[in-house]
Amino acid sequence: MSGRINRRGFLQAAAAGGAVLGIGDFSFLTRLPPVSAAEAALDPKLVRLEPGIEPTVRMLEETPRERLLEEVAAKVKAGLSYRELLAALLLAGVRNVEPRPAVGFKFHAVLVVNSAHLASISSPDAERWLPIFWALDHFKGSQAATAKESGWRMGHVDESKLPPPHEARQRFIEAMDNWDEPAADVAVAALARSAGANEVFELMWRYGARDFRSIGHKAIFVANSWRTLQCVGWQHAEPVLRSLVYALLNREGEPGNPATNDYAADRPGRHNADLAKQLRPDWLDGMPNASATEEMLEVLRTGSELEAPATAVRLINGGASPQSVWDALLAAAAELTMRKAGIVSLHAVTSSNALRYAFGTSADEQTRRMMLLQNASFVPLFRQALGKADDRRIDKLEADAPPADGKAAVADIFAEASHDRMAAARKALAYLRQNPEPRDLIDMARLMVFLKGNDAHDYKFSSALLEDWNRLSSPWRERYLAAGMFLLRGSGGPDNKLVQRIRTAMA
């Protein structure tokens, strides 16, 4: 298949069931020579990793970008497992990419690891390696950027200052509350060595969502760290948690300590901590309420970051279920992509995904309340950051059936997305109403990211969207997923350089 494909050709190929099949064939692995791990001495000033994973991490760190995919492919042929490669990619990222001056930008090399993993495990075996190979290449770019900008690499823990295990939790809370970076670093290292995963992340959920700095990336990093560590193993937690805490304490150049100042980024969290106490004791027992969802959605369109969570509390205390509020929160985030597709609206979706995931994962009732209320504050803040935008409404999106059924209809939707986003969304809405389990559309969305995506945000957005659509109640779920066509990749653009490179390796 060429780098570009015309609309008619794509429709014909999809209708015949042959679209984009076979792209992930890694038969070329059998023709690549094995490559041994580097044997040079490790810098004693660097953070130490588990001995078993260190050689693989160093291979990722030291192999030049132009050779890394071939080197990794050879390691896979020799027995390197998917889980070990995923762990090494995460650890190489946190050791070599600094989450400063903001938790984003080059640090997407770390943030995207879980999104790539979700794409991999949700894909057919033939395409399973594509997201991870893309993330490997992306890491090398971010590693080079960090080396050029600052030369930063994560250092070793100051063992002499580690608190004893029985004091680690309280020391960590005090350090985080006071925005004390050195104290938080040693405290979280002690926690990683002595506490369980659930205990540690019950703290992380709260601190990841307490402020609006970095437009939601802090909450995203917490969720992605938890999820990736669940796959690769808690034995790798310490460097990940140290990187996470360093990111959570990023104050983005503010001159004073947020603990003793009244910065705008912190106000919703302080307001919502008190507001959360006003939710009725049986707040989880409410009933689905369509009117409550509509009212909440309207407040998210017009209200402030303080008015929206107050409305959420009033609706829930009036008998509405939290699900009715979440329907509005997720729908409002997707609506922002309709109003102005871009980096701000994209992060409204991905940060809402992280907060919704935390809400469903935490076992602490106060934390769960805060995740809902902070999301209710974040969506208006994203709306304000959007600036001038179209006045499109997700509840006014009209369905327009594609001119075919089945795979041909899906192909038409994604071909349309390259020319007319609104038309693609309307056709997607009609398709989704006819196909309540839209596996073909979801598979095509992932494949378009593999083939056409060239940015970490393509993976982050698609993973969030394709996970959360099923968390909404109907009819909002269909509208939510249809709105995603404003940012999902269409089929008309060129294939990304990674796919072209894999083809070359296969030839």
Please choose, from the candidates 378, 326, 373, 370, the residue with its C-alpha nearest in 3D space to the C-alpha of residue 351: 378
| 38-45: long-range contacts, CB 8 A cutoff, minimum separation 24 | 38/62, 44/156, 45/155, 45/156
323 and 407 assigned to the same domain: no
Residue 436, in any domain of the structure: yes
Q: In the structure, what pLDDT confidence band is assigned to residue 28 with cuts at 50, 70 and 90? A: very low
Regarding whether 431 and 328 lie in a shared domain, the answer is no
Cα angle, residue 243 at apex, residues 99 and 90 outer, rounded to 5°: 95
Specify whether 367 is located in the same domain as 448. no
Examine the fold and report which residue of 394, 418, 442 is the final residue of a domain before the chain moves on: 394
* 335 and 381 part of one domain: yes
Q: Over the stretch 220-253, which tens digit does the pLDDT of each residue have?
A: 999 999 999 999 999 999 999 999 999 999 998 8
Dump pLDDT digits (tens) for 180-215.
Answer: 999 999 999 999 999 999 999 999 999 999 999 999
User: Residue 87 falls within a domain, yes or no?
Assistant: no
* Structure confidence at residue 504 as a pLDDT band (50, 70, 90): low
Count Cβ neighbours within 10 Å for each residue of 9-31 and write b for 16 or more, e otherwise. ebbebbbeeebbeebbebebbee
pLDDT at 380: 98
Domain assignment present for residue 293? The answer is: yes
Does 387 share its domain with 405? Answer: no
Please state at what angle helix 181-194 crosses helix 237-248, rounded to 10 degrees.
Answer: 150
Sign, CA dihedral 120-125-129-134, equals: negative
Identify whether 161 is part of a domain.
no
Q: Is the pLDDT assigned to residue 472 strictly greater than 80?
A: yes
CA 88 to chain centre: 19
Pick from 246, 345, 304, 325: which is nearest to 47 by CA? 246
pLDDT interval class at 44 (50, 70, 90): low
Report, in this order, helix, strand and coil percent for the chain, each rounded to 5. 70, 0, 30
Whether residue 435 is found in the same domain as residue 463: yes
pLDDT at 42 exceeding the cut of 70: no
Look at residue 268 and tell me whether its pLDDT is greater than 90.
yes
452 and 415 housed in the same domain: yes
The whole domain housing 403 covers 397-497
Where is the domain boundary, 338, 363, 394?
394
What's the total number of domains in the chain?
2
**Position 435 in a domain:** yes
Q: What global pTM score does this model have? A: 0.89
| Mean pLDDT, residues 273-295 taken together | 97
Of the two residues 26 and 409, the one the predictor is more confident about is 409
Q: Cβ(394)–Cβ(479) under 8 Å?
A: yes
Same domain, 270 and 378: yes
Taking all residues of the chain, what is their mean pLDDT, rounded to a whole number?
A: 89
Statement to judge: residues 284 and 335 lie in one domain: yes
Q: What is the pLDDT of residue 500?
A: 72
Q: Judge whether 455 lies within some domain.
A: yes
- Exposure of 480 by Cβ count < 10 A (0-12 exposed, 13-18 middle, 19+ buried)? buried
480 in any annotated domain: yes
309-342 confidence digits (pLDDT tens): 999 999 999 999 999 999 999 999 999 999 999 9
